Amino acid sequence: MNKIFQAKMDVDKTIKELSQNEKKVLLTLKKLKGSASPENILKNGDFSQEVEIMNASSWLQSKKLVKIEDHIKTVYALGKEGKQYLEQGLPEKRALTLLSKKGKATLKELSSVLTSQEIPVAIGWLKKNKWINIKKDKETILEITAEGKKALKAETSEEKTLKMLSEKPNSELDKNKIKSLLTRKNIIKEKEIITSTIVLTNEGKKILEKGIKIEDEISQITSKIIKTGVWKNKAIRPYDINAFSPALYGGKPHPMVKLIGEIKQIFLEMGFEEIQGDYVESCFWNMDMLFIPQDHPAREMQDTLYCKVPSKVKVTDKKLVDKIGQVHEDGGKTGSTGWGYKFSKEEGERALLRTHTTVNTIRYLYNNPKPPCKVFSIGRVFRKENIDSTHLPEFYQIEGIIHEEGANFKQLIGVLKEFYKRMGFEKVRCRPGYFPYTEPSMEVDVFYNNQWMELGGSGIFRPEVTEPIDVKNPVLAWGLGLERLAMLKFGLKDIRDLYISDLGWLREKPLI
Ligand code: PHE
């Protein structure tokens, strides 16, 4: 397609997409020799309001068919005293009228036509204009001069300005000519106003040369137009689907909320039930129950956030506490030798913010020791971590257990691989790991963006954990990190980005 032909095509397209008001503005401008103020277009075109012209003109400007030129104008209007003097006359003129009748007057006599504030003003101007002479005898006496008499017959330039401004407020005036009025208070006001001129551009002229017609067309389709069939016989204005319009965003869930929903869905589909727990727990349930020795380094202030209020959480099942204490000390009936230290019940009652959601699954097992069961929980846990690009002191864990006859390690690997596969991670690696409450134990990693990322721990609960609560069958257990998974999913390099509430990236995320 050659260039000229292409340009011609554009003209046709532009004409087609003009609205009625845009066409009317262009035609009126043509009539007004290519440039006019909105008021002038209003007078000469078929419009009912100036805003219609301004709206259409800014659309025309965006299509480069007109230019809106703004000018700042200084204009003047009557002030409060200006209006008053227009009716009563300026103070010096009123004084002069009185003097011309009497030839001369005392200050006292002036007060019959002037207020006490106006007298000094009037005398000042009378003297300045050489309309009076002042004589001081016993009293101050004002005498009219020949010039004063002459001045009375003519309209002064000040009076002319006041009259003119009352007829045409907001007029542009020569500042030099109104100096004396401007020095006086509240007689006239200076204002700055912006006026626009709409000017046809060369493109606009081209469109007019090509010719535009105002036809009765449909610019907005309504149900009425469709029902009555009116659309059949009328032209419909084409839409410009490439026209710029600002993006509108409705409210939507945070990507993390959405992701949690997806994970829940996966576990539900795999036949699991959801369980929940509290943030504040006792050491007993969070650690003792899981055969974590009371002198374990993870219990130190380093990792665990202990609570001041409440500082203790009572453990109600005293028999269980005794049993667990025994297991810690010498293994009890579990066949284990235990840790070989003196178990403290008080230590078990210390209150903490749960450090893992394994506390939820162990409590569930205690309340439901009969197999089979498949439960999961997604919840927040707390640890004394320094915040950096891969650590937060508060994060989510995806926890789960399978308790059934014959449950085994291979099954555990299979279930975790299946979960990650459903989350979109094909490559999963299981490595040997260590947790005081599982044997065997393993770590789970996923491969993503050319690197392995450690996502969580798992294993089969030890007899030290299951025996005291009468659980006889194997329990497969896992606790996986959610935020790291989210980082991989959302392509984030910094874990903190998940919680910064930056609408920019929240809107971008493909998940939502
Ligand atoms: N509780 C462990 C953690 O917080 C994860 C885990 C859960 C390990 C269950 C084994 C079994 O890292």
Residue 237 alpha carbon to ligand 1 centre in Å: 65
Residue 278 alpha carbon to ligand 1 centre in Å: 17
Other Cβ atoms less than 10 A from the Cβ of 369: the count is 15
Q: Which pLDDT score, from 0 to 100, does residue 370 have? A: 97
356 Cβ below 6 A of ligand 1: yes
Q: What percent of the chain has pLDDT over 90?
A: 71
From the alpha carbon of 397, which atom of ligand 1 is closest? 4
Q: Which pLDDT score, from 0 to 100, does residue 5 have? A: 47
pLDDT in tens, 450-467: 889 999 999 999 999 999
Average pLDDT over residues 28-40: 95
Residue 334 alpha carbon to ligand 1 centre in Å: 21
459 Cβ below 6 A of ligand 1: yes
Tokens 């001069």 found at: 145
- 354's tokens: 């749960």
378 within 8 A of 480, measured Cβ to Cβ: no
Beta-bridged to residue 474, according to DSSP, are: none
Average pLDDT over residues 33-52: 93
Distance CA 382, CA 279 (A): 8
Q: DSSP string spanning 94-158?
A: HHHHHHHHHSEEEHHHHTTTS-TTHHHHHHHHHHHTT-EEEEESSSEEEEE-HHHHHHHHSPPHH
Average pLDDT over residues 437-447: 96
The preferred substitution site among 358, 419, 462 for testing ligand 1, maximizing ligand atoms within 8 Å of CB, is 358
Helix segments in 143-254, DSSP class H: 146-153, 157-167, 179-183, 202-210, 223-228
38 Cβ below 6 A of ligand 1: no
Residue 273 alpha carbon to ligand 1 centre in Å: 19
460 within 8 A of 475, measured Cβ to Cβ: yes
Sheet containing strand 428-432, strands side by side = 273-274, 373-382, 394-403, 475-481, 451-461, 438-448, 428-432
Other Cβ atoms less than 10 A from the Cβ of 139: the count is 10
134 within 8 A of 95, measured Cβ to Cβ: no
458 Cβ below 6 A of ligand 1: yes
Residue 356 alpha carbon to ligand 1 centre in Å: 7
Residue 457 alpha carbon to ligand 1 centre in Å: 5
Q: Which pLDDT score, from 0 to 100, does residue 242 have? A: 79
Q: Which residues of 124-136 are buried (b: 16+ CB within 10 A; e: fewer)?
A: ebbeebebbeeee
Query: Which residue's C-alpha comes closest to atom 4 of ligand 1?
Result: 356
474 Cβ below 6 A of ligand 1: no
Q: Which pLDDT score, from 0 to 100, does residue 301 have? A: 57
Distance CA 237, CA 220 (A): 8
371 Cβ below 6 A of ligand 1: no
- Judge whether residue 375 has pLDDT over 90: yes
167 burial level (CB within 10 Å; 0-12, 13-18, 19+): exposed
Average pLDDT over residues 124-137: 91
- Judge whether residue 393 has pLDDT over 60: yes
379 Cβ below 6 A of ligand 1: no
57 Cβ below 6 A of ligand 1: no
- Judge whether residue 9 has pLDDT over 60: no
pTM: 0.59
- Judge whether residue 3 has pLDDT over 50: no
- Judge whether residue 101 has pLDDT over 70: yes
Residue 474 alpha carbon to ligand 1 centre in Å: 16
- Judge whether residue 510 has pLDDT over 80: no
Q: Which pLDDT score, from 0 to 100, does residue 297 have? A: 81
Segment (H or E) for 451:
strand 451-461
91 Cβ below 6 A of ligand 1: no
Distance CA 106, CA 112 (A): 11
286 Cβ below 6 A of ligand 1: no
- Cα 130 off chain centre by: 68
Tokens 């380094």 found at: 297
360 Cβ below 6 A of ligand 1: no
Distance CA 171, CA 361 (A): 84
Out of 92-101, 341-350, 358-367, pick the least confident: 92-101
Query: Which residue's C-alpha comes closest to atom 10 of ligand 1?
Result: 458
Residue 292 alpha carbon to ligand 1 centre in Å: 12
Cα–Cα distances (Å) from 388 to 221, 276, 304, 385, 411, in that order, read 56, 28, 18, 9, 35
Average pLDDT over residues 372-395: 96
457 Cβ below 6 A of ligand 1: yes
At 286, the pLDDT band (50, 70, 90 cuts) reads: very high
Q: Which pLDDT score, from 0 to 100, does residue 138 have? A: 83
At 512, the pLDDT band (50, 70, 90 cuts) reads: very low
Residue 189 alpha carbon to ligand 1 centre in Å: 79
Distance CA 338, CA 342 (A): 11
- Judge whether residue 234 has pLDDT over 80: yes
Out of 58-72, 160-174, 313-327, 383-397, pick the least confident: 160-174
- Judge whether residue 347 has pLDDT over 90: yes
At 500, the pLDDT band (50, 70, 90 cuts) reads: confident
Average pLDDT over residues 160-178: 89
The preferred substitution site among 435, 437, 480, 482 for testing ligand 1, maximizing ligand atoms within 8 Å of CB, is 435
Tokens 């000390």 found at: 329
479 Cβ below 6 A of ligand 1: yes
